């Protein structure tokens, strides 16, 4: 399945994406706000194994983010912790190419995945967390329609200290289905 989103499209990941993920994983600046498991050095074989199993969990949907113009993989995104009972999921994203940070891609992809969650999967609530000291992420999520619900105190450990995370969410009943460009 391919989802279009402005200057990028979203496609399935596979083991051929190993080199990009390995390169991103070796750069602390890229991974500093990522989930804990991605913060530790991994071998190419570890990354390849992870990619070969990425679609095995029925509670997670993952896509590669690809530039339309060059077909270059620039990151990944998706929905984790999906609950059919609660009709909810948690959004995640990583833009691995630093020269594309601040270009609005994260907001665009966030909107596209959120619309997919509501319109295609039938979820009612999408959540996410962002480190409070990462204002670019909080702004991207706000621009995509997410609202801050609170602060999770000392919820992450980075750079030798505990850091707060901002909890954000959006409901299907407040979502504008014309928001994806």
**pLDDT at position 40:** 54
52: domain CATH number?
A: 3.40.630.30
- Averages of pLDDT over runs of 10 residues in the chain (181 residues) are 83 92 82 60 83 85 94 94 96 92 90 95 96 90 93 91 96 78 47
Helix, strand, coil distribution of the chain in percent, nearest 5: 35, 35, 30
**pLDDT at position 159:** 81
**pLDDT at position 181:** 47
Phi first, then psi, for residue 2 (nearest 5°) are -120, 130
Query: Considering only CA atoms, which of 128, 170, 171, 164 is closest in space to residue 147?
Result: 170
Q: Is residue 38 part of a domain?
A: yes
Can you tell me the distance from the alpha carbon of 30 to that of 135, in angstroms, rounded to the nearest whole number? 15
Q: How distant, in Å, are the alpha carbons of 113, 133, 134, 153, 154 from that of 62?
A: 10, 26, 23, 28, 28
Q: Is residue 136 part of a domain?
A: no
Q: Which domain holds residue 119?
A: 3-127
């Amino acid at each position: 399945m391919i989802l279009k989103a402005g200057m990028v499209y979203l496609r399935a990941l596979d083991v051929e994406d190993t080199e990009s993920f390995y390169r991103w994983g070796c750069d602390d600046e890229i991974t500093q706000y990522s989930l804990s498991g991605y913060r530790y050095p991994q071998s190419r074989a570890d990354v390849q194994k992870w990619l070969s199993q990425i679609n095995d969990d029925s509670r997670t949907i993952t896509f590669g983010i690809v530039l339309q113009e060059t077909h270059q993989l620039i990151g990944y995104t998706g929905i984790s912790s999906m609950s059919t009972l609660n009709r909810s999921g948690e959004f995640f994203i990583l833009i691995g190419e630093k020269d594309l940070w601040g270009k609005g891609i994260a907001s665009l992809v966030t909107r596209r995945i959120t619309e997919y969650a509501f319109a295609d999967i039938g979820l009612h609530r999408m959540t996410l967390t962002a480190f409070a000291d990462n204002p670019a992420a909080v702004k991207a999520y706000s621009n995509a329609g997410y609202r801050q619900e609170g602060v999770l105190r000392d919820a992450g450990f980075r750079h030798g200290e505990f850091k707060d995370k901002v909890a954000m969410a959006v409901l299907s009943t407040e979502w504008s289905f014309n928001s994806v460009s």
